[in-house]
Amino acid sequence: MAQRRIANPALFICDLQEKFRPAIHEFPKVVATAQKLLKASQILDIPVFATTQNKARLGETCPELKLDQPGGIRTVCHHDKTLFSMVTPEVKKSLDSLNASGPLSCIIVGIESHICVTQTTLDLLKAGHKVYVIADGVSSCNKEEVPIALARLRHEGAVVTTSESFMYEYVGDAGTPEFKQIIKVVKDTSQTTKEVMQTLCKI
């Protein structure tokens, strides 16, 4: 098998919490994309990092993501923070524990695009990592913030892409053992993906 196009991936789930549900533009669609990528992460053995923002006020991570729940998805780090960036000392320590052979490829979904997602991306880029911001997996309270944030992050050096594009790019070869499983995820979520793209990725 050829060397993977994307090396040392890590999935970042940024502040997808209960209290944000009524405030964030198309919040359920952001959660749907996060769920899809979490399924892919299990197939592709991609480590997951998650944060909450001041959960005493803003609540726990949305239960449908099943992070660190019985029978759910085990994270490397699921940390509460007051920093806007996910790159806290605790998360840095967990990133170091991966013992990656080079810079990470960090895949980011969550909220808000112009605050926590932006500051996380900038910190990861500054640390020398590659960052993939998933356009169908980020949002803000005011939808007008999103394209401005994505344009800025693209200018700063992040790759702005979609969940499906990322999955195909990471797999890279229809002959790999995991391809059939990834295709099943794509097919099972095809209608949801279409609805999400039409809402969150309008150009």
Q: Whose CA is closest to 11, among 55, 51, 53? A: 51
Q: Which positions ≥6 away from 54 have C-beta within 8 Å?
A: 80, 81, 82
CA dihedral angle for residue 202, residue 142, residue 119, residue 109, rounded to 10 degrees: -50
Pick the catalytic residue from 116, 123, 130, 136: 116
Pick the catalytic residue from 15, 36, 123, 130: 15
Instruction: Give me the phi and psi of 110, to 5 degrees please.
Output: 135, -155
Residue that has been written with the tokens 């919490």 in this structure = 17
In the chain the domains, ranked by start, together with CATH numbers, are: 9-201 (3.40.50.850)
C-alpha distances (whole Å) from 22 to each of 13, 14, 16, 18, 56 are 19, 17, 12, 9, 18
Q: Are 49 and 10 in contact (CB under 8 A)?
A: yes
* Confidence (pTM): 0.94
Active site residue 116: yes
pLDDT of residue 2: 56
**pLDDT tens track for 72-123:** 999 999 999 999 999 999 999 998 888 677 899 999 999 999 999 999 999 9
Pick the catalytic residue from 29, 81, 130, 136: 81
d(CA 140, CA 4): 32
Q: Are 98 and 79 in contact (CB under 8 A)?
A: no
137: which 2 tokens? 């997996």
Active site residue 66: no
Could you tell me how many helices (H) and strands (E) the chain has, helices first? Answer: 8, 6
Confidence of residue 203 (pLDDT cuts 50, 70, 90): low
pLDDT at 188 over 70: yes
Q: Are 173 and 107 in contact (CB under 8 A)?
A: no
Active site residue 29: no
Residue 95 CB: number of other CB atoms within 10 A?
20
36: which 2 tokens? 């899809």
Q: Are 71 and 99 in contact (CB under 8 A)?
A: no
pLDDT of residue 162: 96
pLDDT at 65 over 90: yes
Confidence of residue 19 (pLDDT cuts 50, 70, 90): very high
